[in-house]
Amino acid sequence: MKITQLSVYQKNLSLKDPYWLSGGRLKFEVLDATFVKVETDSGLVGWGEGTPWGHTYVPAHGPGIRAGIETMAPAILGQDPRKVELVERAMDTCLPGHLYAKQPIDLACWDIMGKAFGLPIADLLGGKRDTGTPVASSVSSGEPDYMMDIIKQYRDKGYIAHSAKVGGSDTKKDIERIRHIEANRLDNEIILYDVNRAWTRREASIVMNAVSDLGVTFEQPGETLDDIAQIRSVTTSPISVDETLVTLQDAARIARDGLADVFGIKLNRVGGLTKARRMRDIAIEHGIQMFIMATGGSVMADTESAHLAQSIPDAFIRACWSCQDMLIEDIAPGSGPRCVDGFITIDDTPGLGVTPDESLLGEPVAVYR
């Protein structure tokens, strides 16, 4: 089987509500999404999506995905999409780094492989659990009561996992937020306090030590892995790393040096499923639990995360994240798994299990053949 054509689509996905990152320092209203249709000489077609969370959050860029695909297209055409590691090597040789540009191609290849073998991607990744994965809500930073109200709204919809955004220079307010939310947390609820790099080392130390009796988990409490290592040395609360978990070497360092207890694997950032599954295996081998997320995007990106999440044993999966309900437009109505009662569940549909409505994507911005 050979890849014969790549069609690239660009779509602006508007958020229903503007979103403020931890510390209130960055605002997001529209996501620049790239959709890729990969066609083969077998007639099988695969779809991928790459949607960074804007271009100010981490080093990733919507136009960069499309420029990367233009550069890599000659190396991708002619490859057998079922041989995902050969495609991976071809892309890495042709364009070192730029992992976020490779993820949509990687996803489309997994989609085709699943269709070729008649299995959902989660089964190709080793086998899926029978049960779905809890979806984490995303709770914007604000006054403690305001944050608790958001958690209650999600709780009423069945959500048991919540990612509450904290961070910034007002350490007293963060301590107040965390104590208030924990005082109102239900026994079965999983709450992650996501700092999104918004603390200095000093602020991290103050807040984390002030609530160390609660045993709550903090995500990305510092900017870099060196910052995390220093924060780790002066605090005892569990730590999750996501923004600075980019390469397999990062994963190996975090595991070996004991920098974190949870991996937050974001598929667009790490370059797709082929690379992410190795991080999953390092995590399991080291007793590290996982949050699996797209960086953002449609039901297609959510479903990619849900496949990887459902290939992870119960003891190691914390939750995944779903962006589809934050968007105004649905590019694949009636297709793919939806978040039901706070869980997302992969069925036995071969491949990704989502096909976009092409009429909603407009004309391709580039076609390579």
List, by residue number, the catalytic residues: 165, 266
Question: Can residue 320 be called a binding residue for Mg ion (CB under 5 A)?
Answer: no
Minimum distance from CB of 260 to Mg ion (Å)?
A: 12
Of 309, 362, 270, the closest CA to residue 58 belongs to 270
Q: Which is nearer to Mg ion, 193 or 343 (CB)?
A: 193
Question: Can residue 293 be called a binding residue for Mg ion (CB under 5 A)?
Answer: no
Q: Which is nearer to Mg ion, 32 or 194 (CB)?
A: 194
Phi, psi dihedrals of residue 249, rounded to the nearest 5°: -65, -40
Within a 10 A sphere around the Cβ of 59, how many other Cβ atoms?
A: 14
x/- contact string, 147-176, with Mg ion (CB under 5 A)?
A: ------------------------------
Question: Can residue 304 be called a binding residue for Mg ion (CB under 5 A)?
Answer: no
Question: Can residue 199 be called a binding residue for Mg ion (CB under 5 A)?
Answer: no
Minimum distance from CB of 295 to Mg ion (Å)?
A: 10
Q: How many residues bind Mg ion (CB under 5 A)?
A: 3
Q: Which is nearer to Mg ion, 88 or 194 (CB)?
A: 194
Question: Can residue 203 be called a binding residue for Mg ion (CB under 5 A)?
Answer: no
x/- contact string, 255-284, with Mg ion (CB under 5 A)?
A: ------------------------------
Question: Can residue 49 be called a binding residue for Mg ion (CB under 5 A)?
Answer: no
Minimum distance from CB of 163 to Mg ion (Å)?
A: 7
Of 305, 266, 273, the closest CA to residue 133 belongs to 305
Minimum distance from CB of 195 to Mg ion (Å)?
A: 8
Distance (Å, rounded) from C-alpha 319 to C-alpha 323? 13
For residue 243, CA distances in Å to 139, 219, 264, 265, 269 come to 18, 9, 8, 9, 8
Q: Which is nearer to Mg ion, 138 or 335 (CB)?
A: 138
Phi, psi dihedrals of residue 154, rounded to the nearest 5°: -70, -40
Question: Can residue 242 be called a binding residue for Mg ion (CB under 5 A)?
Answer: yes
Question: Can residue 106 be called a binding residue for Mg ion (CB under 5 A)?
Answer: no
Minimum distance from CB of 130 to Mg ion (Å)?
A: 28
Of 309, 249, 242, the closest CA to residue 273 belongs to 309
Question: Can residue 194 be called a binding residue for Mg ion (CB under 5 A)?
Answer: yes
Minimum distance from CB of 219 to Mg ion (Å)?
A: 5
Q: Which is nearer to Mg ion, 92 or 223 (CB)?
A: 223
Of 209, 153, 141, the closest CA to residue 180 belongs to 141
Question: Can residue 219 be called a binding residue for Mg ion (CB under 5 A)?
Answer: yes
| List of residues contacting Mg ion (CB under 5 A) | 194, 219, 242
